[in-house]
Amino acid sequence: MATRTLRKATMAALAPALALGATVGLASAPASAAVWNTCDQWGNTTLNGYTLYNNIWGSGAGSQCVWANSGTNWGVWANHPNTGGIKSYPDSKKVINKSITSLTSLTSNYNVTVPSSGAYNTSYDIWDTDYDYEIMLWVNKTGAVGPLGTSQGTVTLGGHTWTVYKGTNGANEVFSFIRTSNSTSGTVNILPILKWIKDTKGWFGNETIGDVQFGYEITSSSGGLNFTTNNLTVSGS
């Protein structure tokens, strides 16, 4: 159920203001003072080549704050009610802006600490520059969450085994790769996944990859839960 990224400009204009307590983010940041934090619904900043977004975009959301020591080390405290529907996608974004055939590599390393309760997924969200296609890579999930579309079977690509789903949210096509077992750290070779979609399945052509985002798609985190990105790097050439 990944519908959130056409969100940043349009959802800001449509969503109601949320009552977010600024002191919560300070209290939930790690002991070593973060260089940036915000509890603003659309709060964002750029640090060493990555853009961080608090990105509370779904209806019925609660409170959420994000902190960052860098673009690759950051975290979220979120207290969203135990109701259906995605509430937020706090994330870190790296801009690529290269066509699939011009890329020689596109890889990422991730290391996260995530709660054992709540309902969420930890995922990459990859977009073409026209936002016609969304490629999601779920590296772990907890609770009542699931992807859009119908299962296309299982494939091993990029160093992981995934169950693939194909669907649409009405605005763009969505290809979701759900890791067959949960992982909190590893390396993903993204380029073979894009080439498989393009060359093996023919689901799109030589798209220009714009954003590679990584974050937490949170449906519920009642009582307040912490999500920590210990390290996240994205590199493309």
pLDDT tens readout for residues 89-125: 999 999 999 999 999 999 999 999 999 999 999 999 9
The arrangement of strands across the sheet holding 119-128 comes to: 44-47, 50-53, 91-99, 208-220, 119-128, 133-142, 173-179, 160-168, 150-157
CATH code matching the domain that covers 7-236, chosen among 1.10.287.130, 3.30.470.20, 2.60.120.180, 1.10.1660.10 = 2.60.120.180
Quick one: what percent of the chain has pLDDT higher than 70?
86
The answer to whether 149 and 167 are in contact (CB under 8 A) is: yes
Residue 155 pLDDT: 98
Residue 212 pLDDT: 98
- Kindly report the backbone phi and psi dihedral angles of residue 13, in degrees, each rounded to the nearest multiple of 5, phi listed first: -75, -25
Residue 81 pLDDT: 97
Domain coordinates in residue numbering, the chain: 7-236
Residues 6+ apart with CB under 8 A from 50: 70, 71, 72, 92, 93, 94, 232, 234
The answer to whether 195 and 135 are in contact (CB under 8 A) is: no
pLDDT bin (cut points 50, 70, 90) of residue 12 is very low
Cα 105 off chain centre by: 20
Residue 30 pLDDT: 52
Q: Which amino acid type is present at position 116?
A: S
- In this prediction the pTM is 0.89
Is pLDDT at 15 greater than 80 in this prediction? no
Residue 1 pLDDT: 44
pLDDT tens readout for residues 17-28: 333 333 344 444
Q: Which amino acid type is present at position 67?
A: W
What's the token pair of residue 205?
């052509």
Q: What is the 3-state secondary structure (H, E, C) of the chain?
A: CCCCCCHHHHHHHHCCCCCCCHHHHHHHCCCCCCCEEECCCCCEEEECCEEEECCECCCCCCEEEEEEEECCEEEEEEECCCCCCCCECCEEEEEEEEECCCCCCEEEEEEEECCCCCEEEEEEEEEECCCCEEEEEEEEEECCCCCCCEEEEEEEECCEEEEEEEEECCCCEEEEEEECCCCCEEEEEHHHHHHHHHHHHCCCCCCEEEEEEEEEEEEECCCCEEEEEEEEEEEEC
Comparison of pLDDT for 33 and 143, the residue scoring more: 143
